[in-house]
A = this chain, B = another copy of it.
Amino acid sequence: MKKIEIFDTTLRDGSQMIGVNFSLEDKIKIAKKMDDVGIDFLECGWPSSNPKDYQFFKEIKNHKLKHSKIVAFGSTAYYKNKIEDDKNLNTIIEIEPDVANIFGKSWDLHVTDIFGITLEKNLEIVYESVKYLKEKIKEVFFTAEHFFDGYKKNKGYALSVLKEAEKAGATRIILADTNGGQHYLEIRDIIKDVKENISTEIGVHFHNDSGMATINSIESILAGAMQIHGTINGYGERCGNANLCEIIPILQLKMNYDILGDNITKLTQLSKYVSELSNFAHEIRMPFVGTNAFAHKGGVHVSAIMKNSQSYEHMSPENVGNKRVVSISDLSGKSNIKYKLKEFDLDIILDDNEITKVIKAVKSKVNKGYEYEGAEASFELLVQRELNKKVDFINVKSFRIISEENYELREVSEGTVKLEIEGNEYYTVAEGNGPVDALTKALKKALLHEYPELEKVTLSDYKVRILNSEATQSLVRVLVESKNSETGEEWSTVGVSTNIIKASWEALVDMFNYYLYNKYEKHKK
């Protein structure tokens, strides 16, 4: 079977998504992760248009990539310029990418109405631009912008644009559905016709405005294209680009194409990494790589899964590096609880009475807005509390936050905490960068007297979610990720309240309780 090339444009087209703002370091990190997964082409920016992109192409040369080729994006020459004076093309040549990918007009309307030049002039520009780059860069791709619209409005012209690029030596010709309106039923005939007119290998670049980017990409492969453009998580403008995290598993795991080989098990991790660096929550419902793609809620499903996973799963999550999730929710039955205990390595067998107590405690919390996904330490404390283990090391007498801004002086957040531990009272105060930071410092200050080892416990992540939005009486859920800076061990806790300070406080107290419970109580016989 012909080799299918994956062309990722997360760092170029994907970065045009509203809210995305990659730093230079972000881009380097993502490029290296993509290389590790074995993505063939990485389109990393438009160097003549964006100074940050220009810097990237210089910087990436200091990093040895084992597989991926670096692609510089740009446009055909500006019609008023002499080709050799075109800044856009010259910048591409200057930064010496592995591959250049330039886009040009293939829809007559865009040539005459948007550019305001003749159809012949555009053909000349396409030819000259590709030829000019080909003298200096070995691999030059030509992307026919708005190709499918252009083909359907004026087939002859669209095909002649492709032929010019081919004549000039383009090594790949990419057909782009720039507006995202292309219907999948037309793909095969169009690709077949293109293949009858040019012999250069074809790539396709779809957008998901009509919900058909994935299917259009697959239909194109079936019709003879061999390169798919897309982004991780389908990031991109409007409805996004074709989602490689969907397309690659379909092709490799359901249609037997070899795309990434064994590296496909790194796909979920790549997906999460990119969303992290993009500052977006990882979409939980994404096929294959979503956090909930293999999540089971109902008790009936869960007990069935534990008998025979094929019965309710279309494939093994491990194939893409994902995992099965059994949710704790108000549909929890005994199977859910047992599964969760096993998953959290809680090596405890509960009898039926104990399970009933735990389920009752869980449902009661869940109805108040608690969610234990991503807060396993809080869940463990909840279970152990029902089993009468010692989990509450910290007896809080009171806490107070003062957050003020005085325009003559400065902004101040002060946290005050009064605790009782082992009969001793501790009363501390600390300042911080915002109310939660102040509380964390005050709490730690108090605890250090009794447990100096808590110096190593640090807060590594803090997430707030509003559970419903009834004005300022919204229920707030705070998730705290903590880390033992010495051992690297991590754990997560949760707090829920209408008061964000209170919710944060809960998660912080659980954070320290968990460390202490883990150290002093957990392994007691």
Binding site for B on A (CB under 8 A): 16-19, 21, 109-110, 113-114, 178-181, 183-184, 208-212, 214-215, 234, 237-240, 243, 246-247, 249-250, 254-255, 279, 284-288, 290, 292-298, 304, 307-308, 310-315, 327, 329-331, 371, 373, 396-408, 411, 413, 416, 432-437, 440, 458-464, 466-469, 471-474, 476, 497-502, 505
Q: Are B308 and A113 in contact (CB under 8 A)?
A: yes
Q: Are B239 and A285 in contact (CB under 8 A)?
A: yes
Find chain B residues with CB under 8 A from A308 CB: 109, 113-114
**A462 smallest CB distance to B (angstroms):** 5
With A180-B314, A211-B246, A295-B18: A435-B396 Cβ-Cβ less than 8 Å: no
A502 and B411 CA atoms in complex are apart in Å by 9
Q: Are B16 and A297 in contact (CB under 8 A)?
A: yes
Q: Which 8 A-B pairs have the closest CB atoms?
A: A181-B314, A400-B404, A437-B472, A434-B499, A211-B246, A211-B287, A179-B314, A398-B406
Closest to A413 in B: B499
Find chain B residues with CB under 8 A from A18 CB: 284, 292, 295, 297, 327, 329, 373
A462 and B474 CA atoms in complex are apart in Å by 8
Find chain B residues with CB under 8 A from A463 CB: 466, 469
A sample of 6 inter-chain contacts (CB < 8 A) reads A113-B308, A237-B292, A240-B285, A403-B499, A433-B498, A461-B469
A296 and B307 CA atoms in complex are apart in Å by 50
Q: Are B499 and A238 in contact (CB under 8 A)?
A: no
Q: Are A238 and B288 in contact (CB under 8 A)?
A: no
With A21-B330, A215-B215: A315-B499 Cβ-Cβ less than 8 Å: no
Find chain B residues with CB under 8 A from A498 CB: 433-434
Further 16 A-B residue pairs, CB within 8 A, beyond A210-B287, A397-B406, A462-B474: A16-B331, A109-B310, A113-B311, A114-B307, A179-B314, A180-B314, A209-B288, A210-B314, A238-B290, A398-B406, A402-B402, A403-B499, A405-B505, A434-B473, A459-B471, A464-B500
With A402-B401, A405-B502: A315-B433 Cβ-Cβ less than 8 Å: no
A214 and B94 CA atoms in complex are apart in Å by 45
Pick the contact of A179: B313, B405, B502 (CB < 8 A): B313
With A434-B473, A472-B436: A304-B502 Cβ-Cβ less than 8 Å: no
Q: Are B405 and A402 in contact (CB under 8 A)?
A: no
Q: Are B211 and A250 in contact (CB under 8 A)?
A: yes
Closest to A146 in B: B311
Pick the contact of A473: B255, B311, B313, B437 (CB < 8 A): B437
Q: Are B398 and A400 in contact (CB under 8 A)?
A: no
A246 and B210 CA atoms in complex are apart in Å by 7
Q: Are A307 and B239 in contact (CB under 8 A)?
A: no
Find chain B residues with CB under 8 A from A215 CB: 184, 212, 214-215
Q: Are B464 and A471 in contact (CB under 8 A)?
A: no
Pick the contact of A411: B243, B250, B285, B499 (CB < 8 A): B499
**A104 smallest CB distance to B (angstroms):** 15
**A429 smallest CB distance to B (angstroms):** 13
With A311-B109, A434-B499, A435-B403: A238-B304 Cβ-Cβ less than 8 Å: no
Find chain B residues with CB under 8 A from A505 CB: 405
Q: Are A435 and B500 in contact (CB under 8 A)?
A: yes
A205 and B467 CA atoms in complex are apart in Å by 30
Find chain B residues with CB under 8 A from A330 CB: 21
Find chain B residues with CB under 8 A from A500 CB: 434-436, 464, 500
**A272 smallest CB distance to B (angstroms):** 14
Find chain B residues with CB under 8 A from A435 CB: 401, 403, 435, 499-501
Q: Are B433 and A472 in contact (CB under 8 A)?
A: yes
A139 and B314 CA atoms in complex are apart in Å by 32
Find chain B residues with CB under 8 A from A179 CB: 312-314
Q: Are B237 and A297 in contact (CB under 8 A)?
A: yes
A215 and B210 CA atoms in complex are apart in Å by 11
Find chain B residues with CB under 8 A from A295 CB: 18, 237-238
Closest to A183 in B: B254
Q: Are A471 and B461 in contact (CB under 8 A)?
A: yes
Find chain B residues with CB under 8 A from A405 CB: 396, 398-400, 502, 505
A304 and B250 CA atoms in complex are apart in Å by 36
Q: Are A238 and B16 in contact (CB under 8 A)?
A: no
Closest to A395 in B: B407
Q: Are B462 and A472 in contact (CB under 8 A)?
A: yes
**A63 smallest CB distance to B (angstroms):** 24
With A210-B314, A307-B114, A405-B399: A466-B464 Cβ-Cβ less than 8 Å: yes
A19 and B284 CA atoms in complex are apart in Å by 11
